[in-house]
Structure 1
Amino acid sequence: MTRYDLKALPTWAAAICVAGLFATAASGATETPAPPATPVAPKTMKIGDVLTGQLNAMRSRDAKGKRTNVYQLVSEPRRLPAPAGLCNLETGPETFEIVVANDAQATQLKKLVGKEVALKVAEVTCAEQAGQMSEALVTKWSVVTKPN
């Protein structure tokens, strides 16, 4: 049978408590609360401006239930032309759904998926329908440059 020395128990307990207090005081002294970040005002987008970012492709279902490709451009926050503005967001939309009008545009975007692209925006609106994965819709556009 093992016997424990109960005389040393209070000494060890006190040492552990003191070490815990020093650790708590040291960690609290080095951390200073960071000042709250001020939101940066988004750039204002005008018709004809160039929107740059990475192009992503997703699969979605249209109104008839048919599976279609949906193209999305992720960029910096933008303030859209009036009356849309910030699209009820704090910093403005960052994800833009690129609406394809015909098969030629679809094949053009399919080649650029996963790359940095630049699109000249001719028409843009806020996303309003339920189920849309982007914050804004670019309905009329053209590719400005094709990256390598």
Structure 2
Amino acid sequence: MTKRFATRSALAATMLLLVTPAIAAAQEDDGAPPPSKPGKPISAGEVLSGELNAMKIRDVKNAGKRVAMYQITSEPRRLPAPNGLCDLETGPETFQLVTSSDAQASQLKSFVGKEISVKVDEIACASDPGQMSEAVVTKWSLVKK
């Protein structure tokens, strides 16, 4: 039993010696970028551009049926008052596109993984626990490039 304890202790000490310099180097990283400035504002009527992502989520209103949720990943943007920065330092970077019809959903389906632009008509900070994005665009239209 003592031999087993000594072996485990030696192994733990060796691992600690190997890991400690890496942890110290990570903590002393002087090349860290300066704090980000808040993103530029976005309001109704403006264009939001970014990569379109799709995720499958369970719809609580539809007996747990899996539905597609679309999200744009963009540069940080500030929302109009009272939403402001959505309790984030730089503003939201992920924007959920709420589809109001099957036509809108099928329109987005062909652009998944690609860069798109949408004209924003209504936007707000995410407030429901099931939302995967930092902000929600409830009314929008696709902008042709």
Give the TM-score range, shorter chain: 0.7 to 0.9
Structure 1: segments with no counterpart, 5+ residues: 1-27
CA RMSD of aligned residues (A): 1.9
Higher helix proportion (structure 1 or 2): 2
Q: By how many angstroms is 1:41 displaced? A: 2.5
Q: 35-44 or 66-75, which moves further after superposition?
A: 35-44
Q: Distance in 2 between matches of 1:47 and 1:89?
A: 20
Q: How many residues align?
A: 117
Match of 1:63 in 2: 60
1:50 is the counterpart of 2:38:
no
1:126 is the counterpart of 2:125:
yes
Q: By how many angstroms is 1:86 displaced? A: 0.4
Match of 2:38 in 1: 41
Larger C-alpha radius of gyration, 1 or 2? 1
Q: Distance in 2 between matches of 1:97 and 1:72?
A: 4
Q: Which amino acid aligns with 1:56?
A: N
SS of match in other structure, 1:67: strand
State the identity as a percent. Answer: 59
TM-score normalised by structure 1 residue count: 0.74
Work out whether residues 38 and 89 of structure 2, in 8 Å CA contact, stay in contact via their aligned partners in 1: no
Q: By how many angstroms is 1:39 displaced? A: 1.7
Structure 2: segments with no counterpart, 5+ residues: 1-24
